[in-house]
Amino acid sequence: MNWKKETVEIRKRRKLAKSQGGKEAIKLQHAKGRLTLRERIDLLLDEESFQEQGEIAGGSEVNEEGKLESLTPANFILGFGKINNRDIVVGGEDFTVKGGSPNSAGLRKSVYTEELALKYKVPLIRLHEGGGGSVAGPGKKSGGYGGDPVFSKSRFKSIADTLREIPVASAALGPVAGMPAARFVGSHFRVMTKETAQILVAGPAVVERAFGKKMSKEELGGSEIHKLNGVTDNVASSEEDAFEQIKKFLSYFPQNKYELTERITCEDPIDRKEEELIGIIPKDRKRSYEMRDIINLVFDKNSFFEMTQFFGRGIITGFARINGYSVAIFANDSNFYAGSMSAEGAQKTTRFIRLCDTFNIPIVSLVDEPGFLIGPDAEKAGTILHGTQAVLATTESTVPWSTIMIRKSFGVAAAAHYGPDGYVLAWPSAESGPLPLEGGVAVAFKKEIASAENPEAKRRELEEKMAKNQNPFPRAEAFSVHEIIDPRETRKYIALWAERIQSQLRAKLVSR
């Protein structure tokens, strides 16, 4: 006697599970321009690194003799894997089975995914395509659905716990609604495919029933909508692009909050000087420039990864490396409202600073901040409310900061750019004060300007006079900045700072 019969049964069930929703369902998935979940996992992970959990979970049917006749696999697949030889947990809905709306086994596996990643303290990646529950319930085989027991813990608790301990990245690769949509936004990095993904609270049929209005999934929750409202951080041109963005994002992060991001080998000299930097800030204060050019010239070549570009566009957030060390980039974009902080930009700032603080990633702030966005729309958006939250997030931050005063640094909003006990450098183009020059002159010299023979000429005269008092040299003389530097030397100063702060970062880990 041996167990050969049972092992044959295992192989049979594995084969049935691998068939997913069947050949026709897979064919339909491909016809829509989307990969199957198993294909996605293979594309995302290092070759042959996937170790599935609950491989044969599902609902089975047996005949009177107890022999297996069919198996409907769980429509959620999860397991361990590796990306660039680093351990991760990956999970996602299988759209070929019941459109990704969870069957009983699929629901159990989806709930378990966060707990598994938390247990092993490794990054979590979710690949979403599917809906939440169905009014039809989990099916007759499950005996109906009367709700969870009264002693059950919330399914959202493990989602919240992951955000406090491990990096979480999610991709929306098709229509995503209900609980999967909540999981998508409950992530540190969120990317959706441009043509094939939609994030929905409710689909077109439910919306039409409620409002009598016919809308497509794309009109309700396509990438063009969600890149502007902050639901998604980035948009990908394809599924492969989405996976590459996730890999890039995770490369700047440690495995969990109890570790530091590994330094990589860097062949880019720390004393590299770019002549372009000496003239990149126009002498004409009204002219804009490209902050991203400064970032790419200063930090390790080709290392900048931006996230949430289209939401709160006056603020730039992302990650880069300096001499191989991972750092966060927080900057202003003068091409949008002169770089001023809007309500959306403030929300973006708060989330980003807290993300960096959770995972011990030092922040480099490149400041060209004219202040909070003003005007009736800004007031309606609650700019002062969200802006103050951003400032408070900065004051509560515990990671090292380095701030480079590029140009403007005015008002309460500027306080969001200077971390506690930060390392502050200034370019010769820096200017600072309680109010931007133009607005400050208009307020302080209102009567003098109005009574002048040529009010406009008088205003320009006063602005030019006051501008001379806002240069960075008085601050340097008062030791209000650590140094005024030649812009071409910025890379060296930041690289040396990044080296110095490593002991601080290690000490921060010990205190956790």
Q: Please tell me the chain's helix, strand, coil percentages from 3-state DSSP, rounded to the nearest 5.
A: 45, 20, 35
Please report, for residues 92, 114, 125, the alpha-carbon distance to residue 172 in angstroms, rounded to integers and kept in the order given.
10, 17, 11
Q: What is the mean pLDDT of residues 124-153?
A: 68
Q: Any idea which of 167-176, 241-250, 285-294 has the lowest mean pLDDT?
A: 285-294
Enumerate residues 6+ apart whose C-beta is below 8 A from 463.
437, 438, 441
Residue 414 has pLDDT above 90, yes or no: yes
φ, ψ dihedrals at 199, nearest 5°: -110, 125
Residue 439 has pLDDT above 60, yes or no: no
Residue 258 has pLDDT above 90, yes or no: yes
* Tokens read off for 170: 């999610």
For residue 264, the SS3 value is: coil
76 conformational bin, left if phi > 0, alpha if psi -120 to 50, beta if neither:
beta
Residue 141 has pLDDT above 50, yes or no: no
pLDDT band at 142 (very low <50, low <70, confident <90, very high): very low
pLDDT band at 325 (very low <50, low <70, confident <90, very high): very high
Q: How many CB atoms lie within 10 A of CB 206?
A: 13
Q: What is the mean pLDDT of residues 3-8?
A: 79
Q: Let me know the angle formed at the C-alpha of 137 by 134 and 141, rounded to the nearest 5 degrees.
A: 140
Q: Any idea which of 54-63, 95-104, 243-252, 421-430 has the lowest mean pLDDT?
A: 54-63
For residue 496, the SS3 value is: helix
Enumerate residues 6+ apart whose C-beta is below 8 A from 421.
401
Residue 61 has pLDDT above 70, yes or no: no
Domain positions in the chain: 8-251, 275-430+471-510
- Decide if 78 contacts 125 (C-beta within 8 A): no
Share of the chain above pLDDT 90, in %: 65
Instruction: Give the span between the Cα atoms of 387 and 382, in whole angstroms.
Output: 8
Helix (H) or strand (E) holding 177: strand 168-177
Enumerate residues 6+ apart whose C-beta is below 8 A from 42.
50
Instruction: Give the span between the Cα atoms of 112 and 125, in whole angstroms.
Output: 13
* Tokens read off for 84: 């660039």
Q: What is the mean pLDDT of residues 457-482?
A: 72
**Which pLDDT does position 51 carry in this prediction?**
95
Residue 442 has pLDDT above 70, yes or no: no
Helix (H) or strand (E) holding 92: strand 86-93
- Decide if 156 contacts 182 (C-beta within 8 A): yes
Higher pLDDT, 430 or 480: 430
Q: Let me know the angle formed at the C-alpha of 411 by 397 and 462, rounded to the nearest 5 degrees.
A: 155
Higher pLDDT, 469 or 197: 197
Higher pLDDT, 81 or 211: 81
**Which pLDDT does position 140 carry in this prediction?**
45
Residue 85 has pLDDT above 80, yes or no: yes
**Which pLDDT does position 102 carry in this prediction?**
74
- 275-430+471-510 topology per CATH: 2-enoyl-CoA Hydratase; Chain A, domain 1 (3.90.226)
Q: At what angle do helices 104-120 and 155-165 cross, to 10 degrees?
A: 30
- Count how many residues are written for the chain: 512
The answer regarding whether domain 8-251 maps to CATH 3.90.226.10 reads yes
> Looking at this protein, which amino acid is placed at residue 258?
Y
- Decide if 320 contacts 153 (C-beta within 8 A): no
For residue 93, the SS3 value is: strand
Q: How many CB atoms lie within 10 A of CB 396?
A: 12
pTM of the model: 0.90
Higher pLDDT, 58 or 485: 485
pLDDT band at 511 (very low <50, low <70, confident <90, very high): confident
Q: Any idea which of 13-22, 313-322, 382-391 has the lowest mean pLDDT?
A: 13-22
Instruction: Give the span between the Cα atoms of 100 and 494, in whole angstroms.
Output: 47
Q: Any idea which of 379-383, 410-414, 447-451 has the lowest mean pLDDT?
A: 447-451
pLDDT band at 60 (very low <50, low <70, confident <90, very high): low
**Which pLDDT does position 92 carry in this prediction?**
94
359 conformational bin, left if phi > 0, alpha if psi -120 to 50, beta if neither:
alpha
**Which pLDDT does position 22 carry in this prediction?**
80
Nearest to 59 by CA among 95, 24, 108: 108
Instruction: Read off the pLDDT of residues 102-119 as tens digits, 9 standing for 90 and up.
Output: 778 788 888 899 999 999
Q: Any idea which of 206-215, 221-230, 465-474, 492-501 has the lowest mean pLDDT?
A: 465-474
Q: Print the SS3 string covering 24-85.
A: HHHHHHHHCCCCCHHHHHHHHCCCCCCEEECCCCEEEEECCCCCEEEEEECCEEEEEEEECC
Q: What is the DSSP string of 304-358?
A: -EEESTTSSTTEEEEEEEETTEEEEEEEE-TTTGGG-B-HHHHHHHHHHHHHHHH
DSSP class of residue 277 equals G
**Which pLDDT does position 75 carry in this prediction?**
85
Enumerate residues 6+ apart whose C-beta is below 8 A from 155.
111, 179
Identical fold for domains 8-251 and 275-430+471-510, yes or no, is: yes
**Which pLDDT does position 63 carry in this prediction?**
57
Computed over every residue of the chain, the mean pLDDT equals 88
Residue 134 has pLDDT above 60, yes or no: no
Nearest to 263 by CA among 316, 300, 218, 217: 300
Higher pLDDT, 465 or 342: 342
**367 burial level (CB within 10 Å; 0-12, 13-18, 19+):** buried
* Tokens read off for 76: 């959620």
Q: What is the mean pLDDT of residues 273-278?
A: 97
Residue 429 has pLDDT above 70, yes or no: yes
